[in-house]
Amino acid sequence: MNKLFYLLSVAALCMSAPSVTAAEAEGAAEAEQSRFSIKPMARLLADGAVYAPDGQGFTDGVTLSDIAVGVTAGYGKWSGRVDLGFGYFKFAMKDVYVQYKFNDRHLLRLGYFMQQFGLQAAYSKSMKPTFENPVSDSYMGATPRELGLMYNMSLPRYFMGLSATFGTIGDLSAEKVIRPQIGALGRFVWRPVAREGAVAQIGVSAWYQSPLYKRSNEDGKGSFNFSANYPTRVAKVKMLGATLQHAGNQLLVTPELLVSYGRFALQSQYYYMNVRRHRGLPAYEAQGAYVWLHCLLLGDRSYKYASSVAGLATPGPGTLELVAGYDYTNGSHKDVHGGISNDVHVSLNYYINKYLLARLGWRYATARDSQALMADFGGRHHVNIIQARIQFRF
C-alpha cells in the first residue's frame, strides 16, 4: 500500500511539473543562435630554404613569410572576418568581409576575399599541401583576393559559387588607375560521391573580366600584368612574366578533378586563358596544368571532405601526409614571351595538433623563354629548392 501511494505521488508531481513545448524549445534555440560571439585569431609562418645552385637572387636563409592577426564575429545568421597580415614585416590586407548564412546550404558574402574559382579556392594561402599555389594558378591570377560579392550553394551532390568582382584594394587606391578590373565568375561542381573515405568530383570554373585602365596606358586601352615567382618564399625571384598593352577582355577557364579513396587522393586542374587585344594584335593565350597525388602515411586512415568549399578537409592531429606533384605552365604565345615552366615537387606534412603544422619539401623548377628572367637575373632557368616550414595558428 505504501509503495502504491509513493508511485501515485511521483506521477502527480510529474504531471504538475512544467513541460517544455516544441515552440519553447525552438525559441530557446533561436535565442542561443542570436547571441553575439567574437573570437581572436592569429597565424605565423616561419620558412627556411636552401637552393642549389644558389646565386642570381637565390640566397639560403629563413624568413617570417606570413604574420597575421584578426578577429571573427557572429550574430545569428550574420558573421564577419577581419584578417590583417604583416608578412616580411610589411602590412597587407587579407580577408575583410561580412556574410549572411541563410542555412547550411546557402550563403552570401561581401567584401575583400578569395573568390570561389577552381579547386585551389578550397584551400587558404597558408594551407596549400605543397607549400605554394601551382605556378599556373599564380601566373594567371586564378585565386587572388578581390573586392566582390559572392553567393555559394552547397547541396549533397552539387556545389556552385557565383561572384561579381571589382578589382583589388591596391587598384582602387592607386593614383594612376582610372578603372579597376571588373568581372563575373562562377564555379560549378558535381560530386556524386562526397564523404569521408571516398570522393569523386568534377567541376569547371569560368571568369570573364575587363582589363585595368591606367592614365599611362597607350591609346587609353587597358592592360594586364601576369607574373609568377619561383615557388618559394625565402628568395623572391621572378620566374614568369608578361605585360599586355592594348588589351581587351580576358577569359579564364579551368576544369577540375578530385578523387580520393581511403588513404589516397588525386587532384588536378587545367587552365586556359585568352586575352583579346586591340590595334590588330593577335589574342594572347596561355595554358597550364597540375596534378597532385596525396597519401596519408600515419594518423588518419582516410581523407575527409569539406562540402562547404568542395575540397579535401585538413587532416587531423597526429597525421603525416605525403604529397607529390607536377606543374606545367606555358605563358609564351606568338609575340609574348611570358615563359614556359616545369615544376616537380614532393612534400611531407605533419599535422602536429590543431595549432601546429610542420612541412618539409623538395622542388626542381625550370623556366625558359621568359622575359622576366632575362630582365632580372640573366636568364636563370633552373633551381633545386629544399624548404621547411613551421606554422602556428589559432
Look at the block and give the residue holding cell 583589388.
Answer: 168
Mean pLDDT for the stretch of residues 145-167:
96
Q: How confident is the model at residue 67 (pLDDT cuts 50, 70, 90)?
A: very high
Look at the block and give the residue holding cell 590595334.
Answer: 279
Tens of pLDDT, residues 312-355:
999 999 999 999 999 999 999 999 999 999 999 999 999 999 99
Q: Which residue has the higher pLDDT, 373 or 361?
A: 361
- CB-count exposure of residue 205 (10 Å: 0-12, 13-18, 19+): buried
pLDDT (0 to 100) of residue 179: 84
pLDDT (0 to 100) of residue 388: 97
Taking the complete model, does pTM exceed 0.95, yes or no?
Answer: no
Mean pLDDT for the stretch of residues 366-388:
84
Tens of pLDDT, residues 87-116:
888 888 889 999 999 999 999 999 999 999
Res. 173: pLDDT tops 70: no
Q: How confident is the model at residue 5 (pLDDT cuts 50, 70, 90)?
A: very low
Res. 290: pLDDT tops 90: yes
Mean pLDDT for the stretch of residues 371-388:
82
Tens of pLDDT, residues 237-258:
999 999 999 999 999 999 999 9
Q: What is the mean pLDDT of the chain?
A: 89
Q: How confident is the model at residue 361 (pLDDT cuts 50, 70, 90)?
A: very high
Cβ atoms of residues 167 and 180 within 8 Å: yes
Between 57-61, 162-166, 167-171, 221-225, the lowest mean confidence (pLDDT) is in 167-171
Residues in contact with 56: Cβ distance below 8 Å, sequence separation at least 6, in sequence order? 237, 377, 378, 380
Residue-wise DSSP of 100-148: EE-SSSEEEEEEEEE---SGGGGS-GGG-TTSS--HHHHHTT-S-EEEE
Mean pLDDT for the stretch of residues 266-289:
96
Output the CA–CA distances (angstroms, integers) from residue 64 to 210, 330, 349, 360, in the order listed: 35, 31, 19, 16
Mean pLDDT for the stretch of residues 222-229:
92
Mean pLDDT for the stretch of residues 263-290:
96
What the block records as the C-alpha cell of 333 is 604565345
What the block records as the C-alpha cell of 62 is 629563413
